[in-house]
């Protein structure tokens, strides 16, 4: 694991990803950030978005449903409500979730609006990420 950074993603489903990568890019609440081995320690909240895992010349894409990231010089731990690798995203399910959210948004009071909007955002980002899969 020389010069790798360990990434652990924990969700209510358990440890969904645990591996060594060369670089991680994530969507923090304050904006996108990149982590290489030796990064200064920090903690941030994450927005719903995409993680990019670089391994050599390959890049892998992971959906992360908000949460927290704790960065140390050798490790990134992400606690999230849900997370899936691009290739594990069920696009039909995301499209169905999107349709449900859009229908709710047609006749939503304030609380429903926020919930439906969040569901819509998760579905839209999953659909985008599913399209990316692995690039080399």
Residues that bind ligand ATP (CB under 6 A): 13, 65, 81-82, 84, 88-90, 93-94, 97, 119, 122, 126
Q: Angle at CA 118, nearest 5°, toward 117 and 121?
A: 85
Long-range CB contacts for residues 9-13, cutoff 8 Å, separation at least 24: 9/51, 9/62, 9/64, 9/78, 9/80, 9/83, 10/77, 10/78, 10/79, 10/80, 11/79, 11/80, 11/81, 11/82, 11/83, 12/81, 12/82, 13/82
Pick between residue 22 and residue 77 the one whose CB is nearest to ligand ATP: 77
Helix axes 110-130, 91-106, angle to 10 degrees: 150
Q: Which helix (H) or strand (E) holds 16?
A: strand 14-21
* Min dist. Cβ of residue 39 to ligand ATP (A): 27
Pick between residue 5 and residue 83 the one whose CB is nearest to ligand ATP: 83
* Min dist. Cβ of residue 45 to ligand ATP (A): 17
Pick between residue 47 and residue 126 the one whose CB is nearest to ligand ATP: 126
* Min dist. Cβ of residue 88 to ligand ATP (A): 6
* Min dist. Cβ of residue 117 to ligand ATP (A): 12
Pick between residue 32 and residue 88 the one whose CB is nearest to ligand ATP: 88
């Amino acid at each position: 694991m020389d010069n790798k950074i360990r990434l652990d993603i924990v969700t209510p489903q358990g440890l969904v990803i645990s591996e060594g990568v060369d670089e991680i890019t994530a969507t923090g609440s304050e904006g996108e950030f990149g982590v290489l081995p030796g990064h200064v320690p920090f903690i941030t909240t994450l927005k719903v978005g995409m993680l990019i895992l670089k391994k050599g010349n390959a890049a892998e894409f992971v959906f992360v449903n908000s949460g927290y990231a704790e960065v140390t010089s050798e490790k990134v731990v992400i606690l999230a409500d849900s997370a899936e690798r691009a290739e594990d995203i069920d696009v039909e399910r995301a499209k169905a979730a999107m349709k449900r959210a859009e229908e709710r948004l047609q006749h939503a009071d304030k609380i429903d609006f926020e919930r439906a909007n969040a569901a819509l955002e998760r579905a839209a980002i999953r659909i985008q990420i599913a399209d990316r899969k692995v690039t080399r």
